[in-house]
A and B are shown apart, each in its own frame.
Chain A
Amino acid sequence: MIDVVVLFFLFGLLAGLARSELKLPAALYESLSLILLLAIGLKGGEGLAKQALSPLLPQLGAVIVLGVLQTLIAFAILIKLGRLGRSDAAATAAHYGSVSVATFAVGANWLMTRGIDFEPQLAIFLTVMEVPALIVGIMLARGVSKDTDWRALAHESFLGKGVTLLMGGMAIGWIAGPEGLTPIKGLFYDLFKGALALFLLEMGLIVSRQIGELRKRGAFIISFGLLMPLFSGLLGLGCALLLDLSVGGMTLLATLAASASYIAVPATMRLAVPEANPALSLSAVLGITFPFNIMAGIPLYHYLAVQLAGAF
């Protein structure tokens, strides 16, 4: 059974493909993403308040390595098999090494709908995994020493809207704790699914605009968009196994690894690697990988997580 929020995505996709006049106001889309980011942060922070923080450090190290590894592997595939230029390959690899908050939200919602718990630190993993791929991607495109403005890039990546809201949400959730959060639960927890549904409606419209671009790109980029998340998902499952996460945590870390960024990375890459074609990466990420993950990927990663947890 498809989750109801995914039906909203399909609705947006079909409306967009049919060239409907439907359009969400830009301010609503911004507000919804703000609510979703804060809600994810708050929930993570609330969970973290109940546990010791020091065991988290090696786990954060592990997910950073995961993000770097994914970027390097994607880069090698894009250069060797896809014969992309260095800049295009580096920029696209950075998208795939980084993460998508929307995909994470759908994954978390999928688990919550089925009453499957996951560890609160997944919200921190989400925040931490945004950044390493960006830095590796820029280094792959530029080399290390040349005239890259690292200060401006650090500012872009660590103080971008997404990371700021997630960190702020986590800090508030951690300080306030479960009881302190009660008065605002109505907005951030109870309305989470509704906000996600509307957000995905807009995502459907955005994805529908990528289809034309995708037709021009051909078979390689389409198969990359499908196979890269599967491969990254497996890496994520392996990493989750090492970290001894629950089945819910394994599913969500695999979802994170499989997801590809379509907000933070494109914006930063546009500035840092301007000669890379942004339409190329976005058509793969939005046209193929995002829809694949939310419709087929998440149930598949859960199935694999159950099998793996049983085997070890």
Chain B
Amino acid sequence: MLANMEKRTLLTVITEAVIEQSLLRDLEKHGVRGYTVSDARGRGSRGIRDAAWDEVANIRIEVICQRAQAELLLAHIRDQYYTDYAMVAFMVEIDILRGEKF
């Protein structure tokens, strides 16, 4: 095991590209210091989302933060978006270096 490893939580949200701006604003409001957004494709209860054009494009947003903050974010995302948008969100515990960044 490396020295100085710390535990953090990785929150991953896979959802419709159309709400990217709105979600990122929410993250910033919750004090998230950094995130990664990538384009995604897949299939789920809302059908095939193959990114063939804008309306069926997905994104994946990843945030590394403290467990408590991740739980707040996940609860907010559930209340705000789960009913109306194609969305999967989950958290995992991860080991990181440079704990002061997250």
Which B positions have Cβ atoms within 8 angstroms of A? 16, 18-19, 22, 47, 51-55, 81, 83-85
Contacts and interface: CB of A to CB of B under 8 A. Distances in A.
A94 B53 CA distance: 20
28 contacts: A23-B52, A26-B51, A26-B52, A26-B53, A29-B53, A202-B53, A205-B52, A206-B52, A206-B53, A209-B52, A262-B55, A263-B54, A267-B18, A267-B54, A267-B55, A270-B16, A270-B18, A270-B19, A271-B18, A271-B19, A274-B81, A274-B84, A274-B85, A275-B83, A275-B84, A278-B55, A279-B47, A282-B55
Nearest to A267: B18
A206 B54 CA distance: 11
Nearest to B18: A270
Nearest to B48: A209
Nearest to B56: A209
User: B19, B55, B83 — which one has the most chain A CB atoms within 10 A of its CB?
Assistant: B55
Contacts of A23: 52
Interface residues of A, number: 18
A263 B57 CA distance: 13
Contacts of A282: 55
Contacts of B51: 26
Nearest to B46: A279
B39 to A, nearest CB: 9
A266 B52 contact: no
A232 B37 CA distance: 41
Contacts of B83: 275
Most buried by A among B18, B19, B85: B18
A263 B54 CA distance: 8
A24 B84 CA distance: 30
A26 B18 CA distance: 16
A288 B34 CA distance: 44
Given A29-B53, A202-B53, A266-B55, 5 more contacts: A26-B51, A26-B53, A274-B81, A274-B84, A278-B55
Interface string A254-275: 0000000011001100110011
Nearest to A23: B52
A153 B93 CA distance: 38
Interface string A1-41: 00000000000000000000001001001000000000000
B52 A271 contact: no
A212 to B, nearest CB: 9
Nearest to B83: A275
